[in-house]
Amino acid sequence: MGLAIEVNILGQLLENGDEEGVAFFKEEFELVNKALKVHGLPAHVEPEEPVEFDSLGSCLSFPYSFVHYLRTAMAYARNNRTRQQYLEDKPDGDENNELLQCELFEKTTSHIICHSDCEGYYLPLDFEDIIFADEDYQFAGGMLGSSKKVLEELLSCADFLGIEISPDGDVAKEAKLQENDNFENDPLFREKTVWLALYAAAKFSIAHNSAIVFA
């Protein structure tokens, strides 16, 4: 079992004739829109036309533990630790890591860290506070984040991970490195794998007004 990162979910399902899947996600987006309305945000209208997704060469499915690695690395970066400190501590994606726990349960400001490991949504809207499910809108995952905040957070920790981004946002060099047979020898390969997948998904989400779906 592992996490799959999806975009253009309705377009894909409609193209494949998956009526049951379409019905499920339409109900989910109705619940999401109830939450958005309560928080004074505009409704999200998920596109139904299939759109080709440029994954930037990223792997869009990986073990759940990979997400914990990125979140822990981000917790270090957000608390002014260095990459060397992170590598020396070797937190190994431990959910009980002190810095990660602080981000999860005390600060609760990171849209990437404060999210379900296995299901849920990021929307192409700009809002500061993570939206939590309520008894009136129990959407999958229980926490709703912003694709725009995801992109901001990824960019802010790119240098910490040693990811090169061109001034126009191009990450072709990183994508090429991940295709290399020796990529798994990189001590940060798990973190970088999730980073690139989320980066590709966030860019698509914002460009095409489509939700990022964890499934």
Q: What is the predicted pLDDT for the residue at 7?
A: 97
Q: What is the pLDDT of residues 108-119, one digit of tens each?
A: 999 999 999 999
pTM reported for the whole predicted model:
0.94
Average pLDDT for runs of 10 along the chain of length 215: 92 97 98 98 98 83 93 96 93 80 90 95 98 95 98 97 90 82 90 95 97 97
Q: What is the predicted pLDDT for the residue at 1?
A: 66
Token match 């912003």: residue? Answer: 146
Could you list the residue range(s) of the whole structural domain that residue 91 is in?
3-214
Cβ atoms of 35 and 144 closer than 8 Å: yes
Q: How many domains would you assign to the chain?
A: 1
Our measurement of the distance from residue 14's CA atom to the centroid of its chain's CA atoms, rounded to an integer in Å, reads: 23
Distance of alpha carbon 67 from alpha carbon 49, whole angstroms: 29
